[in-house]
């Protein structure tokens, strides 16, 4: 028996804002979207265009409050082919929330508070 990773889900408070962030910050683009017939939810699946993994963003109409991310110890990691340029871009966007120069990594934060780790090619 074999399992294949296909997607992760983040619930978001503003789908358009999140789509813009993930496109600008990481180059992720929507490959599929689904809207509930009653408009109670919207799903957007984003791709890096290289792997088969997707990030699923879920917007729920009946969840107007901010999402409780607990201690926010969960994150997704992305490898940047040009780490210095990525860092400069994210710094200009104001989304870097933590840096660990000793490990050669940093984290950015999306509009809902999810952390995304940025690593160089090693």
Q: Strand pairing partners for 79?
A: 119
Which residues, in sequence order, are bridge partners of residue 8?
A: 55
Q: Check 24, 88, 109, 117 and give the catalytic one.
A: 117
The answer to whether residue 24 is catalytic is: no
Give the CA distances from residue 94 to residues 21, 47, 75, 89, in Å, rounded to whole numbers and listed in that order: 11, 23, 18, 9
**Residue 36 in contact with residue 11, Cβ under 8 Å?**
no
Active site residues: 117
């Amino acid at each position: 028996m074999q399992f294949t990773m296909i997607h992760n889900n983040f619930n978001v408070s503003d789908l358009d804002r999140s789509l813009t962030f993930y496109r600008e910050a990481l180059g992720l683009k929507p490959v599929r979207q689904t809207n509930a017939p009653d408009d109670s939810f919207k799903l957007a699946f984003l791709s890096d265009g290289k792997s088969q993994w997707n990030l699923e963003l879920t917007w729920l109409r009946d969840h107007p409050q901010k999402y409780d991310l607990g201690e926010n110890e969960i994150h997704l990691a992305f490898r940047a082919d040009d780490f210095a340029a990525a860092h400069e871009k994210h710094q200009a966007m104001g989304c870097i929330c933590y840096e660990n120069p000793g490990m050669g990594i940093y984290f950015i934060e999306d509009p809902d508070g999810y952390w995304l780790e940025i690593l160089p090619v090693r």
